[in-house]
């Protein structure tokens, strides 16, 4: 029983018509480099998108209450009282009174041990997590309520929402996301242009062979099929190399990111759907290359013959 030929297999007599050397040279490696860069750009875009999404859904629901009080004993008492008052407010998911030692540790990278040695007071901190991201009006209303419970001295209490200082970071992430998407688009356009140039060069090289094929009754579609199959094989080969190289580099970078201390980038990583989308990019490039090769051959032969 004869084996059925795969769609992109090149028959022996077709190899004689257009030798393999034309596309087995630099073309697959150029495709590999293009796909490698496109995968890295797409991975950066997907990672930034996932990080921004998680940050907006989690960090924007958090706020910090600061109590300014010089007396350490009174500061500790007022901290616990405010924490109890916050737990009874509607829309509050969790409340945590930050120990003074932890608050001083936050200042140590900038002030060292000089603040503690000099007896400089630090504000009492209370971490608050809301059920939904609070608005600026909601935080202002909470401050008024806490100040009223504190004898109306509003200068002793401050509430800072994470959304206020994280908004520039979110804008930066959105800008980088658009830039990464634009780079992917440019790389795809460059890939299409590379395929068009390679096919036009192959057509000029084998112009005499194609003219003989037409005199023997071959159509433009049959000639286009020869080139698009060959481009498909080169794209798949280059895509496999680019995908393997990009995957190795992304796994290495992922391990480096996981080793960071807790912060804005410590939880950043490629989501599961991101890996699936990366697998589709080489296939999409192959489809784009086939379509570009077909269009180039048909449009060129229409003017050539």
Angstrom distance (rounded) from CA 43 to CA 260: 19
Residue 293, strand partner residues:
none
pLDDT digits (tens, 9 = 90+) for 99-114: 888 877 777 766 666 6
pLDDT digits (tens, 9 = 90+) for 27-65: 888 888 989 998 988 888 888 777 777 766 677 788 888
Structural domain boundaries in the chain: 12-56+167-304, 60-165
Computed over every residue of the chain, the mean pLDDT equals: 77
N- to C-terminal Cα separation, the chain: 41
The reply to whether the predicted model has a pTM over 0.85 is: no
Phi first, then psi: give them for residue 262, nearest 5 degrees: -55, 130
pLDDT digits (tens, 9 = 90+) for 212-229: 776 776 677 777 777 777
Angstrom distance (rounded) from CA 268 to CA 51: 5
Residue 96, strand partner residues:
127
Determine whether domain 60-165 maps to CATH 3.30.70. yes
The DSSP element (H or E) to which 193 belongs, if any, is helix 162-205
Instruction: Find out whether 135 and 162 touch, Cβ atoms under 8 Å.
Output: no
Residue 129 pLDDT more than 60? yes
Residue 275 pLDDT more than 70? yes
Per residue in 248-270, is it b (16+ CB within 10 Å) or e — as a string?
eebeebeeeeeeeeeeeeeebbb
DSSP reduced 3-state for 26: coil
Percentage of the residues of the chain whose pLDDT score is greater than 70: 76
């Amino acid at each position: 029983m004869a084996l059925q030929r795969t769609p992109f297999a090149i028959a022996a007599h077709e190899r004689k018509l257009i030798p393999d050397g034309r596309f087995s040279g630099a073309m697959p490696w150029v495709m590999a480099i293009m796909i490698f860069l496109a995968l890295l750009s797409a991975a950066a875009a997907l990672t930034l998108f996932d990080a921004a999404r998680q940050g907006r859904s989690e960090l924007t629901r958090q706020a910090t209450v600061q109590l300014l009080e010089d007396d350490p004993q009174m500061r500790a008492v007022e901290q616990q009282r405010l924490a109890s008052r916050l737990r009874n407010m509607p829309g509050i998911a969790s409340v945590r009174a930050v120990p003074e030692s932890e608050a001083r540790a936050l200042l140590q990278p900038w002030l060292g041990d000089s603040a503690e040695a000099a007896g400089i007071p630090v504000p009492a901190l209370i971490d608050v997590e809301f059920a939904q991201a609070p608005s600026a009006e909601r935080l202002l209303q909470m401050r008024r309520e806490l100040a009223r419970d504190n004898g109306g001295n509003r200068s002793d209490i401050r509430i800072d929402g994470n959304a206020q200082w994280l908004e520039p970071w979110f804008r930066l992430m959105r800008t980088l996301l658009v830039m990464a998407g634009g780079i992917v688009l440019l790389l795809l356009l460059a890939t299409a242009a590379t395929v068009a140039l390679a096919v036009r060069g192959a057509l000029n090289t084998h112009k005499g062979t194609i003219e003989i094929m037409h005199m023997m009754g071959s159509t433009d579609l049959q000639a286009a099929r020869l080139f698009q199959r060959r481009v498909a094989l080169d794209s798949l080969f280059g895509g496999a190399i680019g995908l393997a190289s990009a995957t190795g580099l992304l796994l290495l970078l992922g391990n480096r990111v996981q080793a960071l201390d807790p912060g804005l980038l410590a939880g950043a990583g490629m989501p599961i759907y991101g890996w699936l989308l990366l697998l589709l990019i080489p296939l999409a490039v192959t489809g784009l290359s086939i379509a570009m090769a077909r269009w180039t051959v048909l449009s060129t032969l229409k003017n050539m013959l």
